[in-house]
Amino acid sequence: MQKHTYDPAAIESKWQNIWEERKAFRTPDDPKAWEGKPKYYILDMFPYTSGAGLHIGHPEGYTATDVLARMRRMQGYNVLHPMGWDSFGLTIERTAERENIHPAIVTRRNIDKFRQQIKQIGFSYDWDREISTSSPDYYKWTQWIFLKLYEKGLAYLADVPVNWCPALGTVLSNEEVKDGKYVETGDPVERRLMRQWMLKITAYADRLLKDIEEVDWPEGIKEMQRNWIGKSEGVEVDFAIKDTDASFTVFTTRPDTLFGATYCVFAPEHPLVEQMTTDAQRSAVQAYVDEARNKTDLQRTDLAKEKTGVFTGAYAINPANDKAVPIWVADYVLMGYGTGAIMAVPAEDDRDWEFAKTFDLPIVRTVQPPSDFGDEPYLGDGPSINSGFLNGLNIQDSKERMTEWLESKGKGKAQVQYRLRDWLFSRQRYWGEPFPTVQLEDGTIMSVPESELPVELPPIDEYKPTPDGKPPLARASDDWLMITLPDGRKGVRETNTMPQWAGSCWYYLRYMDAHNATEAWSAEAEHYWMPVDLYVGGAEHAVLHLLYARFWHKCYMIVALSPQRSHFKNSSIRHDPRLFLSG
Ligand code: ANZ
């Protein structure tokens, strides 16, 4: 009897070669081929092309989508099932530095490995639509999108605190820093203010939150996005500083507890701290502020950590009862949230309770706890006590009464806060998209004209910051770095680069029209292919990549409404892509 054996090396490579030659999985580009035929856009999270090649998680997701892609083709759909490479980033840059070769060479090597591995598995991708975020014909459009955001005021420069490692002359990410040291070398890291590009994602906080309802994603992922955006409804209350003309504002979600605010706390970076500190307290406050500067927000707000702080010598007037309450500086209050100052209510807040116990500050209950309640902060509901005109009301009614009272006296107003922060969009790295901007001698920032995009990465000698701590691009020759405008004004190019997230914010759109040299993607392709019908990606990207991508997607409306692309007006691009996540 004849023995049948399956010889994968012979059989699979034979068919894979035939698929390749005949372009068996080619998706038609010609709109004529779309007419009257249903479409199915099936998207995989594209891999970050580190040197390691595929990990088991990649084929796991890619297998599921491939089965479906093949089925949809057989059912008569035009199937868009593309693959590409998330190919800028630190890992590649580090390899380049170590081997002393150009990151583009490392990238090509890594991509070849990924492509070969993926092809070997036999997935049915349309390889004619392969994209790579680090290739100039792709990042040209990433730069173009950035310029659109900048034109609309959604990108701006600001001095923000970063993790600066003096020994390495570079900025580190929060993940690379532990206990004030760089995790790999143990070199000390300090917080330093640096001029950085920021994207104003907070301007979209409310829309990003509301429109989660329109996105067809697993509930867990949606909930993570809601928490990340962190909408918080409260009141801004004004406090006068005793014996001065100065005043300050706090943000609270518990205006009902105002009678129990027995002290106030400022973030160490608060601009009023220096002015209000008394001479007697000045050196102690200064020392505390200096120390706090080196801690990250995470370290500062760690609930388990011992509370630290220092009295400023100044007093605030509690607007509810006109009592003078001491003002402290403590690092558990962050400058980046609310107003950077709080009214502390130890009886109804854990952190304030602990702080009051540590520093022997008064505690006044304003909500009556149950009779058997111990010596702890009470966060539950109950009738207001020690609270004048609020006494007897429950928390919700007290909140409303107090808000009305504050507003009627001009001492406060209802306010919504978001936990979401603007997006720090600069990196002091080489292997990323250069910003298409120039700083002129008088300080003004100028966009590089669209006709001159892409701004390509210049050759440099070493993929390291300069000895005086400027980003690697500052090593470029003056031919690249220095600009002279036709009218003779001089300027210097931006030397920061964009973060790895930039390219992955819009790759699903480029696939639809991967070789378009005149537009990022055509309206026609977008009308046909969007939204994404099925997406499989990792849940670990729920709040960064997927939120950033939603933000950029919403920004395309801006483009849609600009005169050059008015044909976008009625396009489905206004809606979030309907994505599905595994995990
Ligand atoms: C008084 C109070 C009494 C508060 C009470 C809470 C409970 P969410 O809900 O997260 O928005 N807070 C305000 N700004 C802060 C800052 N910059 N750093 C640290 N804490 C800050 O939290 C709002 C509450 O967090 C605010 O309401 C304030 O404390 C604190 F029984 O005010 B609360």
532 lines ligand 1 (CB under 6 A): no
The rounded Å distance from CA 349 to ligand 1 centre is 8
| Atom in ligand 1 nearest the alpha carbon of residue 252 | 27
The rounded Å distance from CA 575 to ligand 1 centre is 34
Give the 3-state secondary structure of residue 561.
helix
* Alpha-carbon distances, residue 482 vs 246, 445, 495 (angstroms): 46, 14, 11
Contact 342, 257 (CB under 8 A): no
Phi, psi dihedral angles at 319 (to 5 degrees): -65, -15
| Atom in ligand 1 nearest the alpha carbon of residue 337 | 17
CA distance 358 to 255: 24
229 lines ligand 1 (CB under 6 A): no
Sheet of 445-447, strands arranged across: 445-447, 437-440, 490-493, 482-484
- Identify which of 349, 352, 364 to mutate to test ligand 1's pocket (most ligand atoms within 8 A of the CB): 349
Return per-residue pLDDT of the chain as tens, 583 residues: 667 789 988 999 999 999 999 999 999 999 999 999 999 999 999 999 988 889 888 999 999 999 999 999 999 999 999 999 999 998 899 899 899 899 999 999 999 999 999 999 999 999 999 999 999 999 999 999 999 999 989 999 999 888 888 887 777 777 678 888 888 889 998 888 889 999 999 999 999 999 999 888 999 999 999 999 999 999 999 999 999 999 999 999 999 999 999 999 999 999 999 999 999 999 999 999 999 887 777 777 776 678 899 999 999 999 999 999 999 999 999 998 899 999 999 999 999 999 999 999 999 999 999 999 999 999 999 999 999 999 999 999 999 999 999 999 999 999 999 999 899 899 889 999 999 999 999 999 999 999 999 999 999 998 888 887 789 999 999 999 999 999 999 999 999 999 989 999 999 999 999 999 999 999 889 889 998 999 998 888 888 899 999 999 888 766 654 544 444 443 333 344 444 433 2
251 lines ligand 1 (CB under 6 A): yes
CA distance 272 to 377: 29
The rounded Å distance from CA 137 to ligand 1 centre is 47
Instruction: Give, using CA atoms, the residue closest to atom 20 of ligand 1.
Output: 333
281 lines ligand 1 (CB under 6 A): no
Instruction: Give, using CA atoms, the residue closest to atom 7 of ligand 1.
Output: 349
The rounded Å distance from CA 132 to ligand 1 centre is 44
The rounded Å distance from CA 210 to ligand 1 centre is 23
Instruction: Give, using CA atoms, the residue closest to atom 2 of ligand 1.
Output: 254
257 lines ligand 1 (CB under 6 A): yes
The rounded Å distance from CA 171 to ligand 1 centre is 31
Instruction: Give, using CA atoms, the residue closest to atom 25 of ligand 1.
Output: 252
Q: What is the number of other CB atoms lying within 10 angstroms of the CB of residue 184?
A: 9
The rounded Å distance from CA 252 to ligand 1 centre is 5
CA distance 459 to 166: 25
CA distance 411 to 67: 63
Residue type, 505: C
